Amino acid sequence: MRLLAGLLGVAVAGAAAHGQPTFRARTDLVRVDVLVTDGGTPVRGLGAGDFEVRDNGVPQRVTAARTVGSVRLGVVLDASGSMTGERLGLARAATADLLSQLQADDGFALIAFGDQVARLGQPGASAADALAALGRLRAAGGTALVDALHAGIVEADDGPGPKLLLLMTDGRNNASWLQAGGVIDVARRHETVVYPVAVGVDRQWSRTSVLPSLRTSDSHALLRVIADETGGRHIEAGWDAGLGSVFRQILDEYRQRYVLTFTPEGVPAGDGWHALEVKVKRRGARVRARTRYWAGPGD
């Protein structure tokens, strides 16, 4: 396994020094990864004219709407001390099932975490090599969930365009250096949609009054915020053989998302974060998309 200590060390130092991640300047073209559902089923066959996009409240002209092509997939698996026994085996089987669904032009990165974070297999390694490394893994330590989320976002980003990150955990974040708010911004900037899968997570720690600062000890609340802000879905699952089906359904749903593009008009450039609002001209349909994009240096 390749420990991502250097990557996380740089990220922690940068966050502490500046209070937020440092990003590249904005490009003229903005991409928005969008899921449209009706009654929980993805809606097919939509075009650019079926969508409405607002950038900081200003209507924009959508120039293209295409379905997701090749998939850049990050899989982030909890391997903390609570994952002993059959749990890690079930996670490995579900991951093997998921990776078997990838196509020739798809890419993936497999990350495991306890209180430290590691990539399983070198970049470009085969799924078999990564799964073999996962098979040698032993559950131990705390749960650096937010640090692992950051590592998965960065490791799965091998080029421009939308990415999918599947994050599986059975516990609360209790060993991270990074703050969730900053890492959510990193996900937005890397155009990454996050699907957190909570497996048998206990709700006994609920303290949602501190949710606005994202320092909550309620794992479900934290995972929902991560999903909602990046345009993904928070999913609850059980410890059984059906976990592989959950993983496969996420990949299948992602392939049915749309990538909208527009060139910002009537709004400033280089002024930091812009609010995004996406709607679809279809009665009863529901849209999931990230809530902001980075427009430049800002203050």
pLDDT in tens, 109-139: 999 999 999 999 888 889 999 999 999 999 9
pLDDT in tens, 88-117: 999 999 999 999 999 999 999 999 999 999
Does the pLDDT of residue 28 top 50, yes or no? yes
Q: What is the structure's pLDDT at 299?
A: 55
Q: What is the structure's pLDDT at 43?
A: 96
3-state secondary structure of 152: helix
Q: What is the structure's pLDDT at 203?
A: 59
Does the pLDDT of residue 42 top 90, yes or no? yes
Q: Is residue 109 in some structural domain?
A: yes
Q: Is residue 191 in some structural domain?
A: yes
Residue 199: which H helix or E strand, with range?
A: strand 192-199
Q: Is residue 62 in some structural domain?
A: no
pLDDT in tens, 196-222: 999 987 654 444 433 445 554 567 788
Q: Is residue 21 in some structural domain?
A: no
What residue ranges in 41-162 does DSSP mark as E strands?
Answer: 41-42, 51-55, 58-60, 64-67, 72-78, 107-113, 117-119
Closest CA to 9 of 216, 150, 124: 150
Mean pLDDT over the full length of the chain: 86
Predicted TM-score (pTM) above 0.85: yes
Q: Which residue has the higher pLDDT, 14 or 256?
A: 256
Q: What is the structure's pLDDT at 148?
A: 96
- Give the type of residue at 67: T
CA 17 to centroid of chain Cα atoms = 25
Q: What is the structure's pLDDT at 27?
A: 54
Owner of token pair 């950051």: 150
What are the angstrom distances between the C-alpha of 125 and each of 49, 117, 132? 41, 18, 11
Is residue 246 within 8 Å of 56, Cβ to Cβ? no
| Count of structural domains within the chain | 1
Q: Is residue 298 in some structural domain?
A: no
Owner of token pair 């998302």: 257
Residues linked to residue 288 through DSSP beta bridges, in sequence order: 35
Q: Is residue 82 in some structural domain?
A: yes
Could you give the angle at which helices 5-18 and 145-156 cross, rounded to 10 degrees? 110
196 DSSP 8-state letter: E
Q: Is residue 194 in some structural domain?
A: yes
Q: CATH number for the domain including 208?
A: 3.40.50.410
Does the pLDDT of residue 18 top 80, yes or no? no
Q: What is the structure's pLDDT at 179?
A: 86
Range of the domain at 89: 2-8+69-255
Instruction: Copy the structure tokens of residue 123.
Output: 């970049």
pLDDT band at 141, cuts 50/70/90? very high
152 Cβ contact partners less than 8 Å away, ≥ 6 residues apart: 74, 75, 76, 109, 111, 165, 167
Q: Which residue has the higher pLDDT, 282 or 172?
A: 282
Q: Is residue 286 in some structural domain?
A: no
Does the pLDDT of residue 173 top 90, yes or no? no
